[in-house]
Amino acid sequence: MKPLVTTLLLITAVLAQTAVVNRLPLPWGIGPDLVVLTVVAVALATTPMTGAVIGFTAGLAVDVLPPADHELGRYAFVLCLAGYLVGYAPSFGMRPYPVAALTAFGVATGFSLIGLLIGDPRVSLAGAASAVLLSVAMTMLVSPLVMLPVGRIMRYLSRDDFASIAGAPWAAGSLRR
């Protein structure tokens, strides 16, 4: 059940990002990144490896679907790395919203740096700095609308993983009578 729901959450986020958010006529040209928030919420509730796979597949979908105007795999690489690192955040006791802010900053910065390294003519240092800050601000503005429902769904699904053995007498380490 958990893989199916996770897949549906990612498909919803990718389609909302590519079909709605990326096509909004915002005056500054940058919108919130719903895919990053969904990857963060899923990776916080799973393992680093699952976070990496989720990040890669979601990033590759955003790379392939229109209106993508960048190199194939650029977003997939950055989101794969982000999902992997976010998967370790619960072991350090980090809260979800600071993790989301750091991840949004890291993904936007990584995406811009890769553009600079490969010579994308649309990326400059001054433009990248303002785009990163604006992207993080917009993403964090909508973060409660994405992370709360996705986080609750993931917690609900995680809680049911071992429900069948929770009442077993040997679960506490000894037999009970």
Number of helices (H) and strands (E), helices first, in the chain? 6, 0
Does residue 173 come out as left (phi exceeding 0), alpha (psi in the -120 to 50 range) or beta? Answer: left
Q: Tell me: the pLDDT tens digits for 35-85?
A: 999 999 999 999 999 999 999 999 999 999 987 788 899 999 999 999 999
Domains, the chain, with CATH or none: 2-147 (1.10.1760)
Q: Cis omega (within 30 of 0) on the bond before 67?
A: yes
Q: What is the pTM of this model?
A: 0.85
What's the rounded Cα separation, in Å, for the pair 1 and 146?
Answer: 20
Q: Tell me: the pLDDT tens digits for 132-158?
A: 999 999 999 999 999 999 999 988 887
What's the rounded Cα separation, in Å, for the pair 141 and 130?
Answer: 16
